[in-house]
Amino acid sequence: MKRKTLTTAVMAGLTGVAGMMSVANAVNVNPDGLGQVLLYPYYTTRGGNDTLISVVNTTSEAKSVKIRFLEGRNSREVLDFNIYMSEFDVWTGFLQAEGDGAKLVTTDTTCTVPYFVGDAADGVGEVELRDFEFIDFEGLSPENVDGAGTDIERVKSGYFEILEMGTLIDETNGSATAATHVNGVPEDCQQLVDAWTTLQDGTTPADEDAYWAENSLVDHDTPTGGLFGSASIININEGTLLSYNATAIDNWTTSVSHTNSGFVTPRVIDGSITTSAVFRSNSQTVDQQSWANSRDAFNAVLMNNRIANEYAINPAIGGLTEWVLTFPTKRFSVDPLIIGAMGEPIAPFSVLFEGTSCEPVTFRLWDREEIERTEDEPGTLPPRPSPLPPDPDPEIDTFDLCYEANVVRFARASTDTNPTETEIFGENRFITLPLADNFISGWTEFNFDPEEIPAGLMFPADARTISNGAVNYVGLPVIGFQATTVSNDTLVVDGQSVLSNYGGTFNHRGSRRIELVSP
């Protein structure tokens, strides 16, 4: 087979231009930030951090929405529930530590099922994140134990996703009206709770209140998108707020997929559309491809063979940098509980999860004056007689990303204290990239391309690639961001002590390798 590279560098974050009007029926990352699916690459309640959450309905239609929190090691669900948003509505909440685990707190009156605020006398709803998906609960679920730990602390960091299940309408039971705010309060959230309420034996009551338990499609129409969201990681003691926008996936489905709050469906790979659309910068067009299933279509729009971002760890200003890299579809390729205990990993991932699932990554690193980090110091090369020995293979820097949501910490090797958790996010499972003292700021490129991985570290030849027979998409589906903080300690301004810490986040940039497959 001969392969011709069609696109070698499509930089992430480009706005849509020519060609974007032709993708109405193809899954795509919406460059305007609105979508049917929102991917939030990280939450943490570690190290004194809380994570604030918001989702906005920009449309004049009510919506049924699923929100799902997943722990960061193997993407086991730790909390799922439904949100019923009225037109132009916003729902907010925040995650914070609770004992050895974490909890969700909300004061938002938007209807949820269960309705957390509805049962709270003080108007503050709380629910703890759960460990049932990674423990053997009362000896009933040994298959859930995945080798990544059974302690509740596992729920303290991870990522989350929000999926539109359908447009909420008043066709039969007035569900949209029940969710609509009147003078700041929804009309009747209890109606929506009752619509899912069943008897203890699992049967539905004799009355007509449990209409969704009987038929979940009642009062629903096709999803239309228009959601956007953001999250902020706030550390009150440190005086920092690190915010990011959710990645918006649009044209994910044309089908209503409304389910009970106790269901783990729909999932991001359960969309009805199996065609993807990816913007190509060099030709100002869109590569539109049909795939065998929605999993591959979803992967295609998130595939990168390289990502790039900056670092700044200048000790003079207390600089710290950590990167988040999250693989929001990895579990569907490597978790034996999903793909089957005897299954093989599914491309583009290559290693089954057995406590970890480590994918090798190469990297290159530069300072701000285009000097590249190398392992060896430059030296002299005296004259030598021939014949000369062959040059040794160059040393290639590699490391492993072993989880679904990964944190990479940048640090000066000479002064690194090797902490048990990262300084910004408080993450206890992380990779440290040790830097020479003269590399205090610059940029880094991480490479997922299998052709760049040294021999002996690589996996089956067809891994890191999804193919439909016409093209190969090479790399890994990844989202995330860089977080950098600086600290001036406590300053005195006009005789008052002022905490002078700052921080910011920046989405990763990236490139794609899309290859035409021809005889």
How many C-beta atoms surround the C-beta of residue 25 within 10 A? Answer: 11
Q: What confidence tier does 398 reach under pLDDT thresholds 50, 70, 90? A: confident
Backbone phi, psi, residue 194, to 5°: -60, -30
Average per-residue pLDDT for the chain: 89
Answer whether 296's CB lies under 8 Å from 273's CB: no
For 8-138, list the strands marked E by DSSP. 28-29, 37-44, 50-57, 62-71, 77-85, 90-98, 101-106, 111-113, 125-128
Q: What is the pLDDT of residue 119?
A: 73
pLDDT for position 250: 98
Q: How far is CA 136 from CA 19, 71, 114, 131, in A?
A: 50, 17, 25, 9
User: Could you say which of 226, 251, 272 is where a domain stops?
Assistant: 272
Q: Are residues 75 and 187 in the same domain?
A: yes
pLDDT tens per residue across span 302-353: 999 999 999 999 999 999 999 999 999 999 999 999 998 778 999 999 999 9
Q: Residue 132 corresponds to which tokens in the numbers above?
A: 């049932």
172 vs 205, higher pLDDT: 172
Cβ neighbours, 10 Å, residue 205: 13
pLDDT band at 482 (very low <50, low <70, confident <90, very high): very high
Give residues with Cβ within 8 angstroms of 156, minimum separation 6. 44, 45, 46, 97, 101, 102
Q: Is 281 a residue whose pLDDT tops 60?
A: yes
Number of separate domains in the chain = 2
- Does 205 lie in the same domain as 332? no
Is the pLDDT assigned to residue 136 strictly greater than 70? Answer: yes
Same domain, 519 and 419: yes
pLDDT band per the 50, 70, 90 thresholds, residue 462: confident
Q: How confident is the model at residue 9 (pLDDT cuts 50, 70, 90)?
A: very low
Domain contains 458? yes
Q: Are 83 and 174 in contact (CB under 8 A)?
A: no
Binning pLDDT at 50, 70 and 90, where does residue 151 land? very high
**Residue 18's pLDDT is what?**
34
pTM for this predicted structure: 0.91
Residue 499 binned pLDDT confidence (cut-offs 50, 70, 90): confident
DSSP alpha helix (H) spans, 197-251: 211-214
Q: pLDDT-derived band of residue 40, with 50, 70 and 90 as boundaries?
A: very high
The whole domain housing 140 covers 28-272
- Other CB atoms within 10 Å distance of the CB of residue 441: 17
465, β-bridge pairs:
474
Please report whether residue 385 resides in a domain. no
Residue 194: its H or E element: helix 189-195
Residue 387 lies in a domain: no
Is the per-residue pLDDT at 266 higher than 90?
yes
